Structure 1
Amino acid sequence: MLPITSFLSCTSPIDELECLSYHQKHHAKTYVTGLVAASNKTVDGIATYVLPAKSERALNKFLTEYDWDEDRLNRERLELLQTENETRWSSDGVVVIDDTFTHKTGKQIPNAGKFYDHSTRGYIWGQNLVYAIYADKKTTYPLCFRLYEKDSKTRVELATELVDECIEIGVPADTYLFDIPYCSGEFVAHLESYGKEWVSAIKSDRNVTYAGERMRVDALAERIDTQPRTVDGEVYHIWTKKLDVSKLGEVKVLITEKESDDEDGELSVKYIVSNKIDAPASHLIALYAMRWRIETFFRDTKQDLGLGDCEMRSHAGVSRHWHLLMLAYSLLKLGAAQSALGTVLSRATSLRADLKRSFREAVQNLLSWALSSPTRSIDELMQEVEGLFI
């Protein structure tokens, strides 16, 4: 890993944050630069490879001891995103709620435990985070999160808290998207108390009432005739009707069978429900497809920004790590929006385009640093570089 000789330009807006002191802003720039460009995204790795870092001890104290308000940082981060058209939220956007796991090995990691991970179909040791993100046609970025604690609040209760926080900070999105685990009567009633619309999937064994008969929704699917329809270039076989669904009341039920690209031509069946009673089926399918944005966010932050790399054993440290990660993600989006190619880059569903710009900048900074010493030979420069890692 090459040394990172200066802060990335995307960290410049940190200077505008009022929640951090002058020295805290230096540490925040160090950490965000490390999350974006360093291969080792632990405190030790960032302190080693980001050369402007004061020291590993100073960075640790910034995360665990210094007095700064995480909630205020989050609000100021979201305010920064509203300064650019490409990242400004609107009522046409959506809030997506879901949870993810970060794999751990240490037994003393805060709230780490044994969880069943449906993606791997097995048990893992790790942490479970419930996130809310904002998404529209132009951009995607995180809003807030909660760390799930066993024997405390349920994930649905944490999701309810996230809805409250989104309302409090002024997220204007009219529609909320979520998946099967969050589709409960209590949760949708909470959303509707704020006048929000919602779209979710339900399990195949959820009961519905059709033609006066109570039955499972997958049994209903065997009785009805679907109609083919093309939505965003994909062919779906669709049936929809307003029905009474257990624990949800009267909602719009949409049964969709998406044609597979596989040679066997098998259909992928989804059971979607929504309180958007009058919405066309194509609109609901397009909305529910946006739920995938949160999966992309989880993938990008795990692979490229160190979502699961924090090894701290204090609650304050891990929480601040995740808040600074959200800051790093948002600054990349903001930097893309401000660049000449912003209208293209900020609409990318993956963060990779933004990261490539930052990696290029880091290499350019390193070369500029080396070329600024024309009187020294390559061997002398290499000795100096090696000395930086001792």
Structure 2
Amino acid sequence: MILPILLTLLALPAHQHRFFAALIPLWQAIPGRVNARNFSRYSGWNERTLRRWFQKTLPWAELHWGLLQLLVRLGVLEGRFILALDASFIPKSGKNTAGVGAFWNGASHRSETGLELSCLALLSWSGHHAFPVHVQQTQPRGQKADRLEQYLDQLVSFLEQRRTWLARHLRVVVADGQYAKTMFMDAVSREGYAFVTKMQCNANLLYPFTGAHPKRRGGRQKWAGKVDFINFDGWARVPGEDRERVWTRVVWAPRYARLLRVVVIQNVDRRGKVKGHVVLCSTDPTLPAEQIRALYSARFRLEFVFRDAKQFAGLNTCQLRRTVALENHWNAAFFALSLGRAEVLLEEAGRLQRPASQMMFSYEDIKRRAYNRLFARRILRNLGLEARFHELEKHPSRPLDLGVKAA
């Protein structure tokens, strides 16, 4: 188990060490809704114990960060990362819950009443594994600054706090189209990283003028015309998938007052007719078009983290009201998910000698094994045979894998 090693390395106070050592295995094992009432059913805790703990400020940032650093130190993850930023809608009702407001729900494609969390995650350079490192609640309009300013404050604070480590391991910051703003590009560029995002399909872009300037009065000509996304003369064609045409060029973006490497991906039908296009960009004009596309595609790994956390880790089942309690619940769900991923990576790396990019991960299987361990340990304890639990873990028939799906 990697959790005792991590808690020892972090040198947490004894009471926090005991709390996290009991909380996370239970969080992974409990079936159904993950809340205080269910904790009291599957452990010796009183229902109020978890509620009291979650009213305190807990060192989740150190746990997230310590787990990632431990994996790098053990050589399970390579030393290059992508920083992804995204927000997720959390259904919640109740007039007394802090931060309830109207937020965009991507599942229903409309704004709904509930909560929103903003998550920063470090993705492995291959894009196969994502580890949340900072989670905070977004306050609705009227209670705090604009939500984009809240996202920016979170990003800037994280980049400044972890500047020394990130300077060695981070290369690119990736976010979707809602973060395609000047303030995000400027903040990321100041720290020396490239910012990759998605632009509007009709973005205002200009061709830099490269020809001989006419002899006339006035300033020198700067622009050679506007990009219309129809005529791609002068653009470089790059390889793409079937029924795609991919073009790239460095152009000027007046909205951001900077040169951008733009990648246009056209979707074509069987007859070769263009049915639509997507526009990606990078603040680093030297970044290859293939890499820009791969980096933006890697961003979707964070969406899978949100999915697993909501379906299996109890992200949506919080029954607390205060912001600090909500953030504690969300961090616990993400950390339990990350810990399960880390255990699989360590096991597979040691047993099969495969790189992390080739490993399969299912948090549903992690929960099944955790529940089987909890159930088996409870039976053996009641029979006075708890000392023989290790025999189940090492048995060739793998009885603790009962119900695990084949990957």
Aligned to 1:237: 245
Among 186, 203, 207, which residue is 1:206 paired with?
A: 203
Aligned to 1:381: none
Structure-2-length-normalised TM-score: 0.77
Amino acid at match of 2:94: G
Output one character per residue of 1:289-348: Cα deviation in whole Å (capped at 9) or x when no partner.
111111111111111112222110122211211222232122112211221456669547
Among 116, 122, 130, which residue is 2:104 paired with?
A: 116
Contact 1:95 1:175 in 2 (8 A): yes
- CA deviation after TM superposition for structure 1 residue 17, in Å: 5.7
Aligned to 1:94: 82
Unaligned runs of 5+ in 2: 210-222, 386-407
Contact 1:243 1:252 in 2 (8 A): yes
- CA deviation after TM superposition for structure 1 residue 120, in Å: 1.2
Rounded Cα–Cα distance in structure 2 between residues aligned with 1:119 and 1:140 = 21
Rounded Cα–Cα distance in structure 1 between residues aligned with 2:272 and 2:360 = 30
- Equivalenced residues, count: 357
In structure 2, relative to structure 1, the CA distance for the partners of 1:337 and 1:344 (3 Å cut) is same
In structure 2, relative to structure 1, the CA distance for the partners of 1:78 and 1:341 (3 Å cut) is closer
Name the SS of the counterpart of 2:170 in structure 1.
Answer: coil
- CA deviation after TM superposition for structure 1 residue 103, in Å: 0.9
Rounded Cα–Cα distance in structure 1 between residues aligned with 2:147 and 2:360 = 26
Output one character per residue of 1:138-157: Cα deviation in whole Å (capped at 9) or x when no partner.
63201212311123233332
Structure 1 position 32 matched with structure 2 position 41 = no
Contact 2:29 2:370 in 1 (8 A): no
Amino acid at match of 1:297: V
Structure 1 position 85 matched with structure 2 position 75 = yes
Structure-1-length-normalised TM-score: 0.80
Structure 1 position 144 matched with structure 2 position 141 = no
Name the SS of the counterpart of 1:278 in structure 2.
Answer: coil
Among 35, 40, 43, which residue is 1:42 paired with?
A: 35
- CA deviation after TM superposition for structure 1 residue 251, in Å: 0.9
Amino acid at match of 2:205: V
Amino acid at match of 2:302: I
Rounded Cα–Cα distance in structure 1 between residues aligned with 2:58 and 2:157 = 23
Aligned to 1:56: 47
Percent identical pairs in the alignment equals 18
Rounded Cα–Cα distance in structure 1 between residues aligned with 2:360 and 2:157 = 28
- CA deviation after TM superposition for structure 1 residue 271, in Å: 0.5
Aligned to 1:23: 15
Name the SS of the counterpart of 1:339 in structure 2.
Answer: helix
Aligned to 2:176: 179
Rounded Cα–Cα distance in structure 2 between residues aligned with 1:345 and 1:307 = 29
Rounded Cα–Cα distance in structure 1 between residues aligned with 2:340 and 2:356 = 9
Runs (4 or more) in structure 1 with deviation over 6 Å come to 225-228, 262-266
Structure 1 position 370 matched with structure 2 position 379 = yes
Name the SS of the counterpart of 2:54 in structure 1.
Answer: helix
Rounded Cα–Cα distance in structure 2 between residues aligned with 1:187 and 1:180 = 11
Contact 1:98 1:131 in 2 (8 A): yes
Rounded Cα–Cα distance in structure 1 between residues aligned with 2:161 and 2:97 = 30
Name the SS of the counterpart of 2:49 in structure 1.
Answer: helix
CA RMSD of the aligned region, Å? 3.2
Rounded Cα–Cα distance in structure 1 between residues aligned with 2:384 and 2:320 = 43
In structure 2, relative to structure 1, the CA distance for the partners of 1:26 and 1:250 (3 Å cut) is same
- CA deviation after TM superposition for structure 1 residue 351, in Å: 4.7
Aligned to 2:281: 273
Structure 1 position 103 matched with structure 2 position 91 = yes
Rounded Cα–Cα distance in structure 1 between residues aligned with 2:313 and 2:267 = 33
Structure 1 position 153 matched with structure 2 position 159 = no
- CA deviation after TM superposition for structure 1 residue 368, in Å: 4.8
- CA deviation after TM superposition for structure 1 residue 361, in Å: 4.2
Output one character per residue of 1:219-277: Cα deviation in whole Å (capped at 9) or x when no partner.
x112226887545x6653112111111322211111112468x9999755210111221
- CA deviation after TM superposition for structure 1 residue 68, in Å: 4.4
Unaligned runs of 5+ in 1: 1-8, 377-390
- CA deviation after TM superposition for structure 1 residue 84, in Å: 2.7
Moved more, 325-334 or 284-293: 325-334
Rounded Cα–Cα distance in structure 2 between residues aligned with 1:16 and 1:224 = 58
- CA deviation after TM superposition for structure 1 residue 21, in Å: 3.3
Contact 1:96 1:135 in 2 (8 A): yes
Rounded Cα–Cα distance in structure 2 between residues aligned with 1:124 and 1:113 = 8
Rounded Cα–Cα distance in structure 1 between residues aligned with 2:264 and 2:283 = 15
